[in-house]
Amino acid sequence: MIDATHEVYPMEIGILAPELKSIDQLFAGDAQFSVPRYQRSFAWTSDEVEELWEDLFGAVQRSGEYFLGTIVLHRSTSEPQYIIDGQQRLACITMLFSAIRNVFLANRDDRAVMIASAFLGTKGYSRDAKLIPKLTLNKNNNETFVQYVVDSLDSSAVDLALKAKHLPPSNRLLLDAYKYFLGAVAQKTASMGTKADDFLVPLIDTLRTKIKLITIPVTTDEDANLFFESLNARGKELAISDLVKNRLYIETKGEVDRAEQLWEQMEKDLAKKPVPEYIRHYWIAKRAAKDSPNVREKHLYKMVSSVIKNNQNGAMALIKDLSSSAPDYVRVSDFSLWSDDSAYGFAFAESLTDLRLFRTTQMSPLLLNAIQHFSTAAQIAKTFRIVANFAFRYFIIGNQSPGNLEKVSANIAYEIRAKTYTSPDHVADALRSLNSDPTFRADFDLASMGGSARIARYTLAKISNYLKRTSALTGSEEITNPDAKEINLEHVLPQSNPARWSSGFSPGVDPRDYINRIGNLTLLLTKVNRDAADKSFSEKKKIALDGSGLKINEFFRGVSDWGDREIDQRQECWRQPLLRFGSCEEYGGWE
């Protein structure tokens, strides 16, 4: 059952006594309800929509009541009343009345007008009067809601709208929900034939009088905000960004329209980037104190609120900076958004590719501050390379947990903001303290890559190309695309049945421990790899390894057996070149 538990709210000044109401009573007369601008958009998926219909249909069949839960309304001296909690449920109830209205209209049944005027909206008496909806959703959803749910008489228009490629996600959810209710009501009505009223009348009666909900009216903005904040604590799964937006809109007072424009521009610039993650990373980069670098999402709202509560100028300054910083934040992972400066060339694109591949979101605060505080394009590009190389050493070779990394990123971001760190070299020194060269050497000697074939292919291709660049000999091939369609990852000691290779291993050594070691991995062209799969080492040498033009495969020409000694030797011979490639000073990617 949807939201069927009675929830207890504190009774304080500005909070009126709860009232048990039916939909009939709630929508009576000229009642109007509106979703505040700070509320999130329609978010119910098919799970919630179908559950609501099944619960309501069950109530119709048993002629029983159905408790729809508690809704919180901000009641002012004039209409409309603002919905603090309950918009998803009231929107879906409105959709059901609209679906019933459309069935009546299709049959030229005068009851369509009764349904529309009682539950969808009211009209004046002039000939050109437009329907004034009883329920108004937020700016993102209301136009779609009015056009297709309140006004539309043609269900095929919903199907057409859903085919639009650029339909916002919340409006797609809204139309999906409406389409479901349209189908459910129409199909059941059609199946009843001439006895359709045996279904429609009980359904209408259930919606009107047997659905019960508790309304809790609040009369002040601050009490409305307190209830809105409490939804998060009660498991309503509000995004932290909803709470921050709400507080910003309240504190900006007479400038709320400008604040709303800035917030919408921020969301537009962020595109698919999660807003809560952006605000958290922004706070780490721009606001976190040196002695309190950890910013957990569950504490973020309190941090923001403590800065801007009763501080209109501070609230406007924050929303302006959040909006202006969003494009820089997105640039951290999108090469297409950078200028044509020569510093942002091919090598820089590879830095961004590395950072995305290694999923180093913890470093975003550091990189955001580098973009906004370092003075030249060359400094910014070098910082990105340093961070990418550090990520390679720390995550890929060291296989370290990311838990401590965000604190490191926060500390460096603070020092950049405080102008203590003014160059990429300062960033390199700070990162080197976390992953020194001796640590890297020890990590590399035992490094394995069993987690991601994509990262393994990418790393081996980097190694091969780096060896080619630094070799005095010419003629070896370069890997321009380490994609699986072009080149395959080969386990020389195979993943399947490694025990049959035991003769090549030292006594007491388990071949399974060496399957994913870097020294056992190599790259082959896709077709060649298929031909060599599951063959013995001598056959693999003949078919694929000895004839390979990749620098990474030269080692195989000098060995006749394959076991732990050869794997260790091959891995060791890459250690020193790779130490230079992965150093914090090395500036360059694929070349």
Question: Does residue 319 belong to any structural domain of this protein?
Answer: yes
For residue 222, what pLDDT is reported? Answer: 67
Kindly state whether residues 515 and 536 are assigned to the same domain. Answer: yes
Kindly state whether residues 311 and 354 are assigned to the same domain. Answer: no
Question: Does residue 343 belong to any structural domain of this protein?
Answer: yes
Domain count, the chain: 4
Q: Which of 331, 351, 374 is the last residue of a domain?
A: 331
Kindly state whether residues 524 and 511 are assigned to the same domain. Answer: yes
For residue 357, what pLDDT is reported? Answer: 85
Question: Does residue 585 belong to any structural domain of this protein?
Answer: no
Question: Does residue 118 belong to any structural domain of this protein?
Answer: yes
Kindly state whether residues 258 and 353 are assigned to the same domain. Answer: no
Using CA atoms, how far apart are residues 229 and 446, in angstroms rounded to an integer?
Answer: 50
Determine how many CB atoms are found less than 10 A away from the CB of residue 194. 6
Kindly state whether residues 363 and 389 are assigned to the same domain. Answer: yes
Q: Tokens representing 410?
A: 């926060």
Kindly state whether residues 108 and 143 are assigned to the same domain. Answer: yes
Prior bond of 36 cis (ω within 30°): no
In the chain, which residues have pLDDT < 50? 3-13, 232-236, 584, 586-591
Location of structure tokens 């040196």: 290
Using CA atoms, how far apart are residues 551 and 536, in angstroms rounded to an integer?
Answer: 22
Kindly state whether residues 91 and 108 are assigned to the same domain. Answer: yes
Question: Does residue 10 belong to any structural domain of this protein?
Answer: no
Q: Which of 189, 207, 233 is the last residue of a domain?
A: 233
For residue 78, give Cα distances in angstroms to 71, 91, 177, 215, 236: 19, 21, 31, 18, 28
For residue 152, give Cα distances in angstroms to 99, 107, 145, 147, 155: 10, 16, 9, 6, 7
Using CA atoms, how far apart are residues 199 and 100, in angstroms rounded to an integer?
Answer: 11
Question: Does residue 258 belong to any structural domain of this protein?
Answer: yes
Cβ neighbors of 458 (< 8 A, separation 6 or more) are: 357, 482
For residue 481, what pLDDT is reported? Answer: 65
For residue 255, what pLDDT is reported? Answer: 92
Kindly state whether residues 29 and 146 are assigned to the same domain. Answer: yes
Burial of residue 552 (CB within 10 Å: 0-12, 13-18, 19+) is buried
> Which residues constitute the domain of residue 90?
19-233
Within its chain, how far is the Cα of 526 from the centroid?
Answer: 34
Kindly state whether residues 426 and 373 are assigned to the same domain. Answer: yes
Strand 19-22 vs strand 211-218: parallel, antiparallel, or unpaired? antiparallel
For residue 227, what pLDDT is reported? Answer: 63
Question: Does residue 492 belong to any structural domain of this protein?
Answer: yes
Q: Which of 209, 233, 257 is the last residue of a domain?
A: 233
Kindly state whether residues 157 and 35 are assigned to the same domain. Answer: yes
Question: Does residue 316 belong to any structural domain of this protein?
Answer: yes
Using CA atoms, how far apart are residues 287 and 293, in angstroms rounded to an integer?
Answer: 9
Kindly state whether residues 253 and 386 are assigned to the same domain. Answer: no
For residue 526, what pLDDT is reported? Answer: 64
Q: What are phi and psi of 148, to 5 degrees?
A: -105, -25
Kindly state whether residues 136 and 282 are assigned to the same domain. Answer: no
Cβ neighbors of 34 (< 8 A, separation 6 or more) are: 80, 81, 82, 83, 135, 136
pTM of the predicted model as reported, rounded to 2 decimal places = 0.71
For residue 224, what pLDDT is reported? Answer: 64
| Strands of 126-225, DSSP E | 132-133, 135-136, 211-218
**Residue 409 near residue 359, CB atoms below 8 Å:** no
